[in-house]
Amino acid sequence: MFTGLIFDPERADEDGLVAIGGNLSPELLLEAYRRGVFPWYAEDLPICWWSPDPRAIFELDFFHVPRRLRRTIRSGRFQVTVNRDFAAVIRGCADRPEGTWIVPAMIAAYEELHRRGYAHSVEVWANGKLAGGLYGVAIGGFFAGESMFYRQRDASKVALVFVVERLRERGFQLFDIQSMTPHTERLGAVEIPRSEYLKRLKRALRCETTFAP
Count: domains in the chain: 2
Same domain? For 69 and 170 the reply is yes
Distance between the two ends of the chain, CA-based, in angstroms? 29
Torsion sign over Cα 176, 181, 186, 192:
positive
Same domain? For 139 and 160 the reply is yes
pLDDT at 192: 98
CA distance 60 to 176: 10
pLDDT at 2: 41
For residue 186, the number of C-alpha atoms closer than 13 Å in the C-beta half-sphere is 4
Same domain? For 76 and 169 the reply is yes
Task: State the CATH number of the domain containing residue 162.
Answer: 3.40.630.70
Q: Choose the final residue of a domain: 19, 34, 52.
A: 52
**Domain carrying residue 158:** 56-205
pLDDT at 1: 33
Q: Looking at the domain assignment, is residue 213 inside a domain?
A: no
Same domain? For 27 and 131 the reply is no
Task: State the CATH number of the domain containing residue 40.
Answer: 3.30.70.3550
pLDDT at 82: 98
Query: Is there a contact between 48 and 20 (Cβ–Cβ < 8 Å)?
Result: yes
Same domain? For 110 and 69 the reply is yes
pLDDT at 6: 87
Low-confidence ranges of the chain (pLDDT < 50): 1-2
pLDDT at 21: 95
Q: Looking at the domain assignment, is residue 141 inside a domain?
A: yes
- Record the pTM: 0.96
